[in-house]
Amino acid sequence: MSLLFTHAYYLSDDLKEQKIMKPYPPLGLLYVSGYMLSKNIPNDIFDTTFSSQKEQLAFISKRKPKVICIYTNLMTKIEVVKLIKTLKARKEYNPKIILGGPDVTYNVENYLKSGADFLVIGEGEETTYELYSSILSGDNFHTIDGIAFLENNKVIQTNPRTKIKDLTELPLPNRMAINMQFYLDTWKNNHGQSSMTISTQRGCPYTCKWCSTAVYGQSYRRRPAYLVAAEMRMLKEQYNPDALWFVDDVFTVSHKWLQEFKEEVIKQDAIIPFECITRAERLNTTILQLLKEIGCFRIWIGAESGSQKIIDLMDRRVDVNLVKEMIQKTNAIGIETGTFIMLGYPGETIADIKETITYLKEANPTHYTITIAYPIKGTSLYYDVENKITYQPDWETSTDRDIDFERTYPRKFYDYAVRKVVNEVEFFRNLSHSKWKAYQFKMKSIAITALLKRYTK
């Protein structure tokens, strides 16, 4: 075939994920592939998750597609650049390379000068179709919205692509093109249940400063509930997953849509246990009951901090007490909860971190994750700290995660702060059933406190 979709995430190289073992397929690529099929353009997908670059290159050498579309994001950028350079170094075969994904939007020149022929900026379906057709016919690329390329060593970036307003136009992701069983078995073997991803919406109407909206923008567009239910029914019949993960940024943003969704999944016998992400102010007792009735077993409710001061600096526009209340109510109704914590945000002090510890203890989510804040290029956070960046590593061999900036305390402080939060929260959680285990966490917390003091003098 003349068209190949691929990416550069290799599970065998990801030591952290090997401990977690919760991989998901490249849903964005599958959507673009499905769209191309709907336009009668056959294509291959080489899914690298359970493969290697060596096997990937062998596949490409054998098929020799005229166009290779590669998905790139913050996590895979380094490997994507290596892949491009390897492909470009092969003199006997020179495909056109198109890159798409959230990382290209604000790194246009870097990616083009690394060897990419074209960048697809924003949503990929319509742009990829027009660009691929023009590559084959040799038409003028200047008239295609949403792309970037080099011309006479100068970066050309065309007009932004208008986002797809009616998501009923989107065909289903081309899941048939990859071996979904690898994912299902990996989940089942490591966690006792299989899981798949599904998307119901594009864009997010909120303005959190650290969050990237590079692909779908600050918008809210949703697929009709009946189509989502029909997709769930298909997944149930074809793959029979034990659970679904809704990848939407705010699953419960529209209560009207949720009511329609409930009616459709019941009507179509499409209920599959699922987990989702949402915001506290888009939950209430009625919505929680609705979610439970249609199989929701876990809700991730974002706060990012237990300090209202930090939440306001993030432009999260939510009351930390409401977040705590909704986590508690979700627990009470029998649905698991999760929350996200970010340490090291500009302006955060020890007092704010102590408030976060108190918040986690009182809210008592079933699960919580902690990251150290980093500025993704193109976000408000990045522009806020751009003039305060203290470490900007080489672009090709690093990611935005490696960027550091002036914080309240030295960067090393926050590595210990994460451990402090975890040990204090686990001390509290274990008090009621294992005082010895709780004591061990407390001793670790005390030791870490001594280390933290070194960085605050």
- CB burial string 174-206: b at 16+ within 10 A, e below: bbebbebebbbebbeeeeeebbbbbbbbbbbeb
pLDDT in tens, 246-257: 999 999 999 999
Q: Which tens digits make up the pLDDT trace of 43-62?
A: 999 999 999 999 999 999 99
Measured distance CA(193)–CA(241) in Å, rounded = 8
Q: What is the pLDDT of residues 303-322, one digit of tens each?
A: 899 999 999 999 999 999 99
State the Cα–Cα distance between residues 183 and 21, nearest whole angstrom.
10
CB 95 within 8 A of CB 132: no
* pLDDT for position 1: 65
Distance CA 140, CA 20 (A): 47
When the candidates are 3.40.50.280, 3.40.50.980, 3.40.50.2300, 3.40.50.10540, the CATH number that belongs to 3-157 is 3.40.50.280
215: confidence class by pLDDT, cuts 50, 70, 90: confident
Biggest distance spanned by C-alpha atoms of the chain: 72
Q: Tell me the CA distances in angstroms from 79 to 75, 295, 382, 398, one per residue in order.
A: 9, 38, 23, 10
C-beta of residue 333 within 8 angstroms of C-beta of residue 295: no
What pLDDT is stored for residue 152 in this prediction?
Answer: 93
Rounded Cα distance, 174 and 186, in Å? 20
Q: Any idea which residue has 């670059």 for tokens?
A: 53
C-alpha 250/C-alpha 367 separation (Å) is 18
* Interval 106-157: pLDDT, tens: 999 999 999 999 999 999 999 999 999 999 998 889 999 999 999 999 999 9
Least confident interval from 84-98, 283-297, 327-341: 84-98
Q: Which of 79, 83, 71, 105 is closest to 376 using CA atoms? A: 105
Tell me if 3-157 shares its fold with 193-373: no
The per-residue pLDDT for range 12-37, each reduced to its tens digit, is 999 989 999 999 999 999 999 999 99
pLDDT digits (tens, 9 = 90+) for 147-205: 999 999 999 999 999 999 999 989 999 999 999 999 999 999 999 999 999 999 999 99
Q: Is the pLDDT of residue 214 over 90?
A: no
* pLDDT bracket for residue 229 (50, 70, 90): very high
Give the CATH H-level superfamily of domain 193-373.
tm_1862 like domain (3.80.30.20)
CA distances (Å), 34 to each of 44, 47, 169, in order? Answer: 11, 15, 11
What pTM did the predictor assign? 0.95
416 has a pLDDT exceeding 70: yes
Tokens of 285: 């007792």
Q: Which amino acid is at 173?
A: P
Check whether 457 has a pLDDT greater than 80.
Answer: no
Q: What is the per-residue pLDDT for 91?
A: 79
Exposed (0-12), middle (13-18) or buried (19+): which is 312, by Cβ within 10 Å?
middle
Flag the least confident range among 71-75, 92-96, 419-423: 92-96
Q: How many Cβ atoms sit within 10 Å of the Cβ of residue 168?
A: 9
The pLDDT confidence band at residue 213, using thresholds 50, 70 and 90, is confident
Q: How many whole angstroms separate alpha carbon 133 and alpha carbon 131?
A: 5
Q: Which of 163, 171, 169 is nearest to 203 (CA)?
A: 163
135, two tokens: 């590559």
CB 349 within 8 A of CB 408: yes
Cβ–Cβ < 8 Å for 60, 68: yes
* Sequence ranges of the domains in the chain: 3-157, 193-373
pLDDT at residue 44, rounded to an integer:
97
- Residue in the structure block whose two tokens are 């027009």: 130
> Is the pLDDT higher at 64 or at 303?
64
How far, in Å, CA of 183 to CA of 48, rounded? 12
Rounded distance, CA 132 to CA 67, Å? 7
